[in-house]
Amino acid sequence: MFRVLRILCVTMLLRCPACQRGQMFRTLFQMNVRCPVCGVVFERDAGEVTGAMAINTALMSIMAIAGAALAIVTDFPAGWIIGGTAVVMVLFGVFFYRHARAVWVGILFLTGAIFEDV
């Protein structure tokens, strides 16, 4: 359990889950194909980015539900709540994108789908 938390924390810091030193991203939105330190391939198969999209979508859905609950519970104007929730969701989706991809790589690493080549 401690290993799982450690790997997920390391990937949230955008570091390689295998060596925990290499940076996963070379630019704001471009992931390295391989870890610059240990050489592990981060996304072996095409389409593995969809896991990160699922993480982002799930978290944004929770935000939408929280926004709807806020609109029901409070007396705030619904238009402001809808607009504010939409802005927060878009900003979160953009800024959390790298972390969602990195966490997904960490999950793949924990399940054995990402491994060091020997």
Torsion over CA: 88, 47, 41, 18 (sign): positive
d(CA 60, CA 34): 29
* 68 in contact with Zn ion (CB under 5 A): no
Token reading at 94: 């953009």
Q: How many residues bind Zn ion (CB under 5 A)?
A: 7
Which member of 18, 31, 107, 114 binds Zn ion (CB under 5 A)?
18
Torsion over CA: 5, 64, 101, 111 (sign): positive
Shortest distance, position 80 Cβ to Zn ion, whole Å:
45
Shortest distance, position 70 Cβ to Zn ion, whole Å:
41
d(CA 69, CA 50): 28
* 59 in contact with Zn ion (CB under 5 A): no
Instruction: Name the one range near Zn ion by CB under 5 A: 4-12, 19-27, 63-71, 83-91.
Output: 19-27
* 35 in contact with Zn ion (CB under 5 A): yes
Token reading at 37: 């330190």
One-letter identity of residue 2: F
User: Which residues are at the interface with Zn ion (CB under 5 A)?
Assistant: 16, 18-19, 22, 35, 37-38
